[in-house]
Structures are given as structure tokens and as C-alpha cells.
Amino acid sequence: MATDRALAGELATAAGELLMDIRATSGLTGKELGKAGDLRSNELLLERLAAERPDDAVLSEESADDKNRLSADRVWIVDPVDGTREYGTDGHTDWAVHVALWSATDGLVAGAVALPALGVTYLDDAATVAPTDGLAAMPRTDRPRVVVSASRPPAFSQAAADAIGGEVLQMGSAGAKAMAIVRGEADAYVHAGGQYEWDSAAPVAVAQAKGLWCGRIDGSPLVYNQDDTYLPDLVICRPDYRDAIIAVTGAG
């Protein structure tokens, strides 16, 4: 039997391959492509989890919330397509598949983020991350980069960048932004425009394993498998930038 970490990676990768095939062969575009991708990726993830971890609960963006998960020891938190708009837009690589496992005793214990259009899946392990230029269209300067939502950038975006002497870049997908920091292409990700547990669970699991700081904009911990799955804000950053960024985001 695969370990939980290996299974998370296998599922995220398989769902990503399916999504790439749908994108290439369905003839769909825009919202219709996004809907089809969400549906079929979710079906794949649920079927595989039911077969390989039948005793675990699942929280998915694309399924009804079964509140039995609140008393479960283990809950898989999945986002079948993170960045649906980007997935449905030709040429975009900033979309992802998120698969995370939460434990009642230890919190996030496994996570995988697949970036299918870049052909890579990141796990919550200590393995060295190979360079993959997901920001090729945004040439790197010598200033730190703060990535924010392209559709809902927080009001303090520029203040957070100024706090570390950096610049603001807009991207889609929480997973894509978080993995840009994991790769060292960006230095912080700040968000306050509203998210849910499935948006951040897998990216946070991976980012923490790679030594990054992850928390709420006021510096408090991120808590998962709650009755209300709304988890509206997030900071992922290099540890040495944490205090400067929280001083701005926490006040905002």
C-alpha cells in the first residue's frame, strides 16, 4: 500500500493528467471547460480515495460537505481544480490540483500540489526542488517578489511588498502562487480576498515541509477541518520576511 504522501502525489498527478487531456481533446473553452474539468477531476479523486482509503473522510470543493468528517480521525482535503478560470483560459499554466490529508492528532500530515501545465507535482517532503520557471513571462529582478491574486488582490498588497523592499506580481491559483515561493521564484504570498480550506491545505502542507512560514494575516495558525470551511486569509513566506509582512497584514 502506498504511503499517504505517495498517494497524495499519485492522485494529484493523475488528476492533473486527466485535466490536461480534457483541455487538449474536449473542444471546450472558458467556463464550460472549467466545469468539465472540476467534475471529472473530482470523480477521479473520490473514486481513488474510496478504493484506497475507504475509512477516511473527504472534504472536496466540488462535493457536498459531509459533516461526519468533523468526528473523523483522518480527512482528505482536495481541490480538483484550483484556478478554474486559469484552467479554462488558453496558455495559462497557473492552475493546480490540491490533495492534502488532515489528522485529528497532528493536523496536516500529507500534501501534494500538482501544476499539470508545468508537468510537476510537489510533495510535503524535504526533497530538493528542481527549477521550473513558472514565471518565465515575468523576468526576475533583484527585488523580493510578493505574489497576490490576479482577481482579488488584498488592499495591503503594495504595503506588504514595500515592507520587504519588494514588488507585487499577480497570478492565478493559490497552489501556483505557493509553489512559486517553494521554487524560489517568489518570496511571499499574501491573500485576504476569501478562500476555503481546500484552497490552502495542500499548498501549506508542501510549503511548511520546505521550510516556509505559513499562517493567517494576523500571525495566528491556520486550522483545518472546521465546521465552517471558510478560511479567508493567508500568508506564505520566507521565515525572515514573516515579521515585516505580518506587521502590515495584521494591521490591515
Distance CA 200, CA 77 (A): 9
pLDDT higher than threshold 70 for residue 177 = yes
DSSP type of residue 103 = E
pLDDT at position 131 is 66
pLDDT, position 2: 87
pLDDT of residue 252: 46
> What average pLDDT does the structure give for the chain?
93
- Select from 125, 112, 102, 122 the least CA-distant residue to 211: 125
214: closest CA among 206, 223, 204, 200? 204
Angle at 250 between CA 245 and CA 252, to 5 degrees: 100
Strands ordered across the beta sheet of 234-237: 167-171, 145-149, 188-191, 234-237, 213-215
Long-range pairs, 84-90, Cβ under 8 A, ≥24: 84/34, 84/37, 84/38, 85/34, 85/151, 85/172, 86/172, 86/173, 86/176, 87/19, 87/23, 87/33, 87/34, 87/37, 88/28, 88/29, 88/30, 88/31, 88/32, 88/33, 88/34, 88/37, 89/30, 90/29
- What's the average model confidence in pLDDT over 140-147? 85
Give the three cell numbers for residue 74.
483522518
Q: What digits encode the pLDDT tens for the residues 114-129? A: 999 999 999 999 887 7
The CATH number given to 145-249 is 3.40.190.80
Closest of 63, 20, 70, 71 to residue 45, by C-alpha: 63
CATH superfamily of 4-123: Fructose-1,6-Bisphosphatase, subunit A, domain 1 (3.30.540.10)
Higher-pLDDT residue of 127, 174: 174
pLDDT tens digits for 39-75? 999 999 999 999 999 999 999 999 999 999 999 999 9
Going through 34-135 in order, the beta strands assigned E by DSSP cover 57-60, 74-82, 96-103, 107-115, 120-123
**CA 52 – CA 2 distance, rounded (Å):** 9
Domains of the chain: which residue ranges?
4-123, 145-249
Q: What is the pLDDT of residue 130?
A: 72
